[in-house]
Amino acid sequence: MELERLLRSQGFGSRAECRVRVLAGRVKVAGDVCVDPYAHFEPAGLSFTVDGEPWNYREFVYLAMNKPAGYECSRRPQHYPSVYSLLPQPLVTRGVQTVGRLDQDSTGLLLLSDDGQFIHTFTSPRKRVPKVYEVTTRHMVDDAQVMALLNGVELHDDAKPVGAVACIRMDEKRLRLTVTEGKYHLVKRMIAAAGNRVEALHRITVGGFSLPLALPVGQWMWLGSPELELLAQRG
Ligand code: URA
């Protein structure tokens, strides 16, 4: 692939912008400056730097972010900064999107990708991907609430009750809840329907992949084959 096209595919701007970067000597490929925008390289496995920043060619990008509170999962946020502001610009330019959404005040595991098939798999209700949330509640959780969440609660937009796949009481005001649907404000509405209220919501797992404890709040990591295999596991 021509260097100019390759850089464009990786989010470094229009072909003209990429050409200017190359001609200015700002791009190194496999360790050497390349000033020919039309030089051909095999993209698979290619390492390059742009302005000294190292990158690997990726056909698709898969990321996990430890989402902080106070960020919106929107490209055009209304009241808070966007989670996209936590990513390097080339990832935003190449069209990375959040895989589903977490509310502004929710925290934890947020997946991002530019692979449409992957996004579909993890957002389609029919795929029933399990997601585990740690829920801090305002009031003490009693047995009746746990039973209601497991048996299914009615949400006003759906006649069919929605149940949790698992609901473990961690302490008086903390639950670990596993759900497979992705409705708007699902967990908050389920907890409200069970007679309690969410004070804090933190997603820890999607499929079989859990947020690594070592990933600091507000940071993101690349997902490679091992993590993608875990994600594909259904819990
Ligand atoms: N359910 C909610 O209510 N909010 C989230 O952010 C995620 C799931």
Ligand 1 contact, 185 CB (< 6 A): yes
72 and 101 inside one domain = yes
The CATH number that applies at residue 20 is: 3.10.290.10
Q: Please give the C-alpha separations between residue 46 and each of 15, 42, 67, 155, in angstroms, as whole numbers.
A: 19, 7, 30, 50
217 and 187 inside one domain = no
What is the Cα–Cα distance from 175 to 167, expressed in whole angstroms? Answer: 7
Q: Are 92 and 105 in contact (CB under 8 A)?
A: no
What is the Cα–Cα distance from 98 to 102, expressed in whole angstroms? Answer: 9
138 and 37 inside one domain = no
Q: Rounded to the nearest 5 degrees, what angle is found at the Cα of 211, between the Cα atoms of 217 and 111?
A: 85
Q: Are 95 and 114 in contact (CB under 8 A)?
A: yes
Ligand 1 contact, 3 CB (< 6 A): no
Rounded to the nearest angstrom, the distance between the alpha carbon of 195 and the centre of ligand 1 is 17
Q: What is the pLDDT of residues 161-209, one digit of tens each?
A: 999 999 999 999 999 999 998 888 999 999 999 999 999 999 999 999 9
The CATH number that applies at residue 197 is: 3.30.70.1560
**What is the mean predicted confidence (pLDDT) over 79-83?**
97
Q: What is the pLDDT of residue 235?
A: 54
SS3 134: strand
107 and 219 inside one domain = yes
175 and 120 inside one domain = no
**Which residues have a catalytic role annotated?**
103
Rounded to the nearest angstrom, the distance between the alpha carbon of 191 and the centre of ligand 1 is 11
**What is the mean predicted confidence (pLDDT) over 107-124?**
96
Domain tally, the chain: 3
Q: What percent of the chain has pLDDT over 90?
A: 91
Ligand 1 atom closest to Cα of residue 131: 8
155 and 212 inside one domain = no
The CATH number that applies at residue 85 is: 3.30.70.580
What is the Cα–Cα distance from 175 to 160, expressed in whole angstroms? Answer: 23
Q: Please give the C-alpha separations between residue 226 and each of 40, 181, 208, in angstroms, as whole numbers.
A: 31, 25, 11
Rounded to the nearest angstrom, the distance between the alpha carbon of 229 and the centre of ligand 1 is 24
135 and 197 inside one domain = yes
74 and 172 inside one domain = no
Q: Are 225 and 58 in contact (CB under 8 A)?
A: no
Q: Are 93 and 13 in contact (CB under 8 A)?
A: yes
Q: What is the pLDDT of residues 126-163, one digit of tens each?
A: 889 999 999 999 999 999 999 999 999 999 877 889 99
Residue 219's domain comprises: 62-125+208-231
Q: What is the pLDDT of residues 22-74, one digit of tens each?
A: 999 999 998 999 999 999 999 999 999 999 999 999 999 999 999 999 999 99
Q: What is the pTM of this model?
A: 0.94
92 and 155 inside one domain = no
Residues 6+ apart with CB under 8 A from 126: none
Q: What percent of the chain has pLDDT over 70?
A: 100
156 and 199 inside one domain = yes
- Counting ligand 1 atoms within 8 A of each CB, the residue from 71, 102, 105 with the most, and so the one to mutate, is 102
Final residue before a domain boundary, out of 37, 56, 75? 56
Ligand 1 atom closest to Cα of residue 203: 7
Tell me, what amino acid is at 216?
P
Atom 7 in ligand 1: residue holding the nearest Cα: 102
201 and 145 inside one domain = yes
Sort 70 into a burial class: Cβ within 10 Å, 0-12 / 13-18 / 19+: exposed
Rounded to the nearest angstrom, the distance between the alpha carbon of 91 and the centre of ligand 1 is 25
